[in-house]
């Protein structure tokens, strides 16, 4: 199949790349498999996107379920608001993460997934604790409801900007002595390290292509939007497909598609068609808002702003600095993967990454979308903004929204801030000072 832009009837007026359609098919097929688990007898493992050990999960023939992705789907489908309110009525604080509340609210309302069918109860909760404190409590909350085995895997925080032998030993011991034996027990499948090696080798191949796609944004114009479009690109590899042939096929296909766009000098595909003129190149820090995703994106492409690099697309794994899953060091490699996810990196590391992105991708500046729900991302972002500005001399701006809580998306405010920011970039380019 040759890459091409398509306008399918099912998505009406929304233009999508062929790769986006392929991605959607993959995600839908996975949800179908997940929902059918009670009938097929497949067992379900719930886990998180950062620290998602998909290759290991597949070694035990378990189906991967990601509550964050379910919350995102609820956000995109405008259902998360009601779910969050449901969870708050059940006693959950208005102050805490809306992914958690969307997930719990969905559960209270029958756990209906994006395909309209009920999601199955997990057989095991794999609490891969990487870069986000909330995960720890989230699965304690789910464990209370589902009463299923819960496996805990602690990833130490990379506070000093390096991975120490103590960290790796700790994680490998946990994998060997707790995670793997419990997965064997739950699944009834004996662990086969060669099977893991095979999946890891496949992961690395897909990771190569993903990195090539993300780095294509160094081109001018960028053929991709590395934030809004990037969310489509990371879907399979951050989800249930890392380590599969499907992922290899998808990322090869995506890379070809992007290569073709680059050869033609085309900009990114947006829901309203190919972006004609690249006026601004931005680096974005922080997750997006999902309840008004398209409206949010439109505020960028209407102004000719392309995101050329983003931190959010590294939240399920940072591959662009060379890390690849390594079949020769299977467990150590899984440990390094978890350690390297973006939110497990120290604040100085995050600052360095963003500064590098601005320089390497020749961006006009940094935009931070600060998420009310997510302290892991948000605490410290104002200092990040100052430091990046100081070190790059490029303007930075700050907007505030939420992941899946529609109450915290104020379109007028966000639009105003973005417009002011683009003016600031213009002034910087023309050598004038920033207007007071």
When asked if residue 413 is in the footprint of other proteins (CB under 8 A), the reply is: no
When asked if residue 100 is in the footprint of other proteins (CB under 8 A), the reply is: yes
In the beta sheet, which residues pair with residue 399?
A: 369
Of 64 and 401, the one with the shorter C-beta distance to other proteins is 401
When asked if residue 356 is in the footprint of other proteins (CB under 8 A), the reply is: no
DSSP code at position 407: G
When asked if residue 191 is in the footprint of other proteins (CB under 8 A), the reply is: no
Single residue of 25, 32, 61, 160 touching other proteins by CB under 8 A:
160
Hey, which residues between 65 and 94 contact other proteins (CB under 8 A)? Answer: 90-93
Spatial separation of the C-alpha atoms in residues 216 and 356, rounded to whole Å = 15
Least distance CB 297 / other proteins (angstroms):
23
Hey, which residues between 16 and 35 contact other proteins (CB under 8 A)? Answer: none
Q: What angle do CA 403, 409, 412 make, to 5 degrees?
A: 150
When asked if residue 121 is in the footprint of other proteins (CB under 8 A), the reply is: no
Side-chain-facing half-sphere of 11: CA atoms under 13 Å: 15
Of 100 and 282, the one with the shorter C-beta distance to other proteins is 100
Please state whether 91 falls in left (phi above 0), alpha (psi between -120 and 50) or beta.
left
- Structure-derived torsion over alpha carbons of residues 399, 358, 257, 286, reported in degrees to the nearest 10: -30
Single residue of 95, 277, 431, 435 touching other proteins by CB under 8 A:
95
When asked if residue 416 is in the footprint of other proteins (CB under 8 A), the reply is: no
Least distance CB 141 / other proteins (angstroms):
6
Single residue of 348, 416, 419, 434 touching other proteins by CB under 8 A:
348
Tokens of 429: 């380019």
Least distance CB 221 / other proteins (angstroms):
33
Segment near other proteins (CB under 8 A); pick from 143-151, 259-267, 275-283, 304-312? 143-151
Q: What angle do CA 46, 48, 53 make, to 5 degrees?
A: 85
Beta strands in 41-149 (DSSP E): 43-46, 62-65, 124-129
Report whether 27 contacts 217 (CB < 8 A): no
Spatial separation of the C-alpha atoms in residues 209 and 311, rounded to whole Å = 18
Segment near other proteins (CB under 8 A); pick from 167-175, 187-195, 261-269, 332-340? 167-175
Single residue of 31, 48, 138, 251 touching other proteins by CB under 8 A:
138
Give, in order, the Cα–Cα distances in Å from 140 to each of 46, 147, 150, 186, 249: 13, 10, 8, 18, 37
Strands 43-46, 396-401: pairing is unpaired
Segment near other proteins (CB under 8 A); pick from 50-58, 66-74, 141-149, 217-225? 141-149
When asked if residue 376 is in the footprint of other proteins (CB under 8 A), the reply is: yes
Residue 181, H or E segment: helix 180-187
Q: At what angle do helices 18-35 and 228-238 cross, to 10 degrees?
A: 40
Single residue of 33, 121, 252, 372 touching other proteins by CB under 8 A:
372
State the maximum Cα–Cα separation within the chain, in Å, rounded to a whole number.
67
Residue with tokens 């609210």: 105
Segment near other proteins (CB under 8 A); pick from 3-11, 155-163, 199-207, 228-236? 155-163
Of 97 and 201, the one with the shorter C-beta distance to other proteins is 97
Of 88 and 272, the one with the shorter C-beta distance to other proteins is 88
- Residue 245, classified by CB atoms within 10 Å of its CB into exposed (0-12), middle (13-18) or buried (19+), is exposed
Residues binding other proteins: what is the number (CB under 8 A)? Answer: 56
Single residue of 169, 359, 413, 416 touching other proteins by CB under 8 A:
169
Tokens of 239: 């989800």
Least distance CB 81 / other proteins (angstroms):
18
Of 107 and 269, the one with the shorter C-beta distance to other proteins is 107
Spatial separation of the C-alpha atoms in residues 336 and 326, rounded to whole Å = 10
Q: What angle do CA 197, 203, 207 make, to 5 degrees?
A: 145
When asked if residue 430 is in the footprint of other proteins (CB under 8 A), the reply is: no
Single residue of 60, 129, 319, 361 touching other proteins by CB under 8 A:
129
Tokens of 392: 């790059």
Binding site for other proteins (CB under 8 A): 90-93, 95-97, 100, 127, 129, 132-134, 136-138, 140-141, 143-144, 147, 150, 152, 154, 156-157, 159-160, 164, 166-167, 169-170, 173-174, 177-178, 343, 346-351, 370, 372, 375-376, 378-383, 387, 400
């Amino acid at each position: 199949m040759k890459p091409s832009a398509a306008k399918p009837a099912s998505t009406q007026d929304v233009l999508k790349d062929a790769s986006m359609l392929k991605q959607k098919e993959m995600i839908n097929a996975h949800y179908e498999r997940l929902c059918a688990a009670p009938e097929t007898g497949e067992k379900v493992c719930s886990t998180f996107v950062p620290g998602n050990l998909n290759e290991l999960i597949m070694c035990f023939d378990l189906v991967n379920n990601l509550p964050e992705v379910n919350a995102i789907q609820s956000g995109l489908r405008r259902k998360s608001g009601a779910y969050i309110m449901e969870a708050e009525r059940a006693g959950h604080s208005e102050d805490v993460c809306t992914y958690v509340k969307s997930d719990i609210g969905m559960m209270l309302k029958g756990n209906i997934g994006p395909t309209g069918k009920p999601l199955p109860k997990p057989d095991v909760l794999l609490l891969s604790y990487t870069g986000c404190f909330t995960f720890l409590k989230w699965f304690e909350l789910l464990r209370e409801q589902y009463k299923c085995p819960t496996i805990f895997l602690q990833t130490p925080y990379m506070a000093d900007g390096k991975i120490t032998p103590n960290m790796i030993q700790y994680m490998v011991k946990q994998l060997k002595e707790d995670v793997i034996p419990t997965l064997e027990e739950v699944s009834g499948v004996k662990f086969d390290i060669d099977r893991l090696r095979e999946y890891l080798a496949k992961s690395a191949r897909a990771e190569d292509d993903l990195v090539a796609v993300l780095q294509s944004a160094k081109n001018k114009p960028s053929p991709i939007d590395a934030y809004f479009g990037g969310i489509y690109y990371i879907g399979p590899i951050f989800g249930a497909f890392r380590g599969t042939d499907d992922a290899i096929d998808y990322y090869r296909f995506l890379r070809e598609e992007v290569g073709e766009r680059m050869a033609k000098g085309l900009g990114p595909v947006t829901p309203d068609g190919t972006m004609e003129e690249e006026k601004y190149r931005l680096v974005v820090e922080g997750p997006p808002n999902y309840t008004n995703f398209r409206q949010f994106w439109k505020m960028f492409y209407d102004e000719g702003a392309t995101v050329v690099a983003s931190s959010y697309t590294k939240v399920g794994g940072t591959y662009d600095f060379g890390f690849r899953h390594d079949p020769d060091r299977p467990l150590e490699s899984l440990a390094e993967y978890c350690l390297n996810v973006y939110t497990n990196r120290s604040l100085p590391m995050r600052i360095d990454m963003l500064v590098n992105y601005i320089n390497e991708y020749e961006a006009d500046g940094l935009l931070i979308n600060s998420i009310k729900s997510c302290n892991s991302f948000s605490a410290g972002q104002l200092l990040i903004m100052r430091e990046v500005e100081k070190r790059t001399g490029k303007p930075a701006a700050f907007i505030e929204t939420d992941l899946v809580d529609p109450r915290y998306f104020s379109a007028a405010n966000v639009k105003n801030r973005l417009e002011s920011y683009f003016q600031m970039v213009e002034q910087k380019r023309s050598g004038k000072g920033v207007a007071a």
